[in-house]
């Protein structure tokens, strides 16, 4: 470890910033969000365009002398003249301050890390001043996976800290309590803004922690949409939940590239289904989710696309609620949207489609058949899920209901993935197209004038490759 990042409390700390350029303004903006006693020395006054500092300290229009730096905790020097920097740094150190000379690591006692500032939670990335741009890039990647409600979780913890210490005097018992609090429903409730419920859940955990005998930690379930297959199309929230999961119950449509983004030691349970092979019946999947959650596990039910679009997520949500298991839903990019975008198919278009309909070709046995008259209407795009096995019947029903046999169609197999394949044709030939394609991956069917756009997209890709 070449550098050590220390956490310095800002309450009442005196922070002095010297300079009147953009570097000085950046430090003012940074510390303007803290409770520090902030002092600004700007020999030339506030620069033009410093309106972002409204409410900040008024500039003192001269360089500081020794008395001005008395009691300073941190001093930032953003002055071009190196000799002046030397002198000011010496004065600051004599006053007992730690010194940072902007862009001059050799003159500094410390370097400013790239910071992720979430009020109560601050994360720093440092390279010892050798590669600040790299530090910023790393910071951006970390920030992308942090929940927006992290501050609320930390605020709740701060409000209960003294109560926890008084109620659970044993250090290891307190540690177990905080692990449960931050990895269970309380943290999720706080992050989503449900502060009162989160506080009640933390107090429930605290009561349990103060007892001699405690039961297992309360588990929970996240029903998560994995998107169409490209791991970069995971939502930030889905990625965070995956990386915190104890158990992942996943479908056949979830590729290994997405499972690789999950916590490495999470237990994976495959419950995939295909049209002719239901390896685990739905009621058993729901029972498995409940059983794992009741063991105190953080369960992720990972489903291709969006769990609430032909994913049976609604049934699983209802089952968790009936069982009294805390459950949260993380939506995903549904396959129709992801595959259409990847193939260059606009689902709506001012000239061709004023509506889009998602429909499944696999209706529930004994259930209501699709309304083919409505689905065959003009100026709309149909996105047909689970349609490859019934492509010929679907085409015949649409044509019988009045859809033009020459209506453009597209088959998108493995949409958004490296092995994506797009096949274009017309409605009258849809069944034969599927038969000729020998599909092996998940496929969606698109029906409507907009489906023809994918052919133009393929031509553009071919030209680019050439």
**Active site amino acids:** 251, 273
The pair of three-digit structure tokens given for residue 348, joined into one six-digit string: 């709506």
Nearest Cα neighbor of 34 from 70, 91, 73, 64 is 73
- Cα separation, 93 vs 109, whole angstroms: 9
> Are residues 135 and 127 in contact, defined by beta-carbon separation less than 8 angstroms?
yes
- Cα separation, 393 vs 42, whole angstroms: 78
Q: Which residue has the tokens 């409505």?
A: 374
Element (H, E) at 447: strand 443-447
- Cα separation, 32 vs 169, whole angstroms: 37
User: What angle is formed at CA 48 by the lines to CA 42 and CA 53, rounded to 5 degrees?
Assistant: 70
- Cα separation, 13 vs 27, whole angstroms: 15
- Cα separation, 411 vs 438, whole angstroms: 12
Kindly give the residue spans of alpha helices, DSSP state H, lying in 278-312. 282-294
The 10 Å Cβ neighbour count of residue 234 is 22
Kindly give the residue spans of alpha helices, DSSP state H, lying in 344-376. 372-375
Q: Which residue has the tokens 């949260």?
A: 328
DSSP E strand boundaries for 54-195: 74-77, 98-101, 114-118, 121-125
């Amino acid at each position: 470890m070449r550098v050590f990042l220390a956490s310095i409390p800002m309450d009442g700390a005196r922070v002095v910033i010297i300079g009147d350029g953009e570097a000085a303004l950046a430090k003012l903006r940074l510390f303007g969000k803290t409770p520090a006693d902030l002092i600004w020395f700007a020999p030339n006054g506030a620069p033009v365009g410093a309106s972002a500092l409204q409410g900040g300290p008024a500039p003192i229009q001269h360089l500081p002398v020794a008395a001005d730096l008395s009691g300073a905790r941190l001093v930032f020097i953003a002055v071009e003249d190196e000799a002046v920097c030397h002198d000011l740094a010496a004065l600051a150190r004599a006053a007992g301050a730690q010194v940072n000379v902007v862009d001059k690591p050799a003159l500094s006692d410390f370097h400013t890390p790239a910071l992720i500032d979430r009020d109560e939670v601050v994360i720093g990335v440092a390279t010892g001043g050798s590669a600040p741009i790299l530090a910023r890039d790393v910071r951006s990647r970390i920030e992308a996976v942090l929940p927006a409600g992290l501050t609320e979780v930390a605020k709740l913890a701060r409000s209960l800290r003294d109560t926890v210490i008084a109620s659970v005097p044993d250090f290891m018992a307190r540690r177990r309590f905080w692990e449960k609090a931050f990895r269970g429903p309380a943290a999720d409730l706080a992050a989503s803004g449900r502060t009162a419920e989160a506080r009640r859940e933390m107090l429930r955990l605290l009561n349990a922690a103060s007892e001699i005998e405690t039961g297992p930690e309360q588990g929970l379930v996240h029903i998560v949409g994995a998107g169409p297959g490209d791991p970069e199309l995971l939502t930030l929230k889905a990625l965070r939940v995956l990386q915190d999961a104890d158990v992942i119950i996943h479908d056949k449509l979830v590729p290994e590239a997405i499972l690789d983004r999950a916590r490495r030691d999470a237990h994976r349970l495959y419950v995939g289904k295909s049209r002719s092979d239901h390896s685990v019946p739905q009621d058993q999947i729901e029972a498995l989710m409940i059983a794992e959650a009741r063991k105190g596990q953080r369960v992720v039910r990972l489903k291709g696309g969006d769990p609430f679009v032909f994913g049976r997520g609604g049934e699983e949500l209802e089952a968790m609620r009936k069982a009294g298991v805390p459950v949260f839903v993380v939506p995903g990019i549904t396959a129709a949207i992801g595959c259409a975008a990847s193939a260059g198919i606009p689902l709506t278009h001012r000239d061709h489609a004023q509506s889009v309909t998602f429909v499944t070709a696999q209706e529930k046995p004994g259930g209501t058949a699709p309304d083919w008259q409505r689905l065959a209407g003009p100026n709309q795009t149909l996105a047909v899920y689970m349609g490859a096995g019934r492509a010929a019947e679907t085409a015949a029903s649409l044509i019988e209901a009045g859809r033009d046999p020459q209506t453009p169609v597209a088959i998108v197999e493995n949409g958004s993935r490296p092995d994506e394949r797009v096949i274009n044709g017309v409605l009258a030939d849809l069944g034969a197209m599927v038969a000729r394609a020998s599909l092996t991956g998940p496929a969606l069917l698109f029906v409507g004038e907009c489906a023809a756009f994918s052919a133009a997209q393929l031509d553009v890709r071919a030209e680019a490759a050439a």
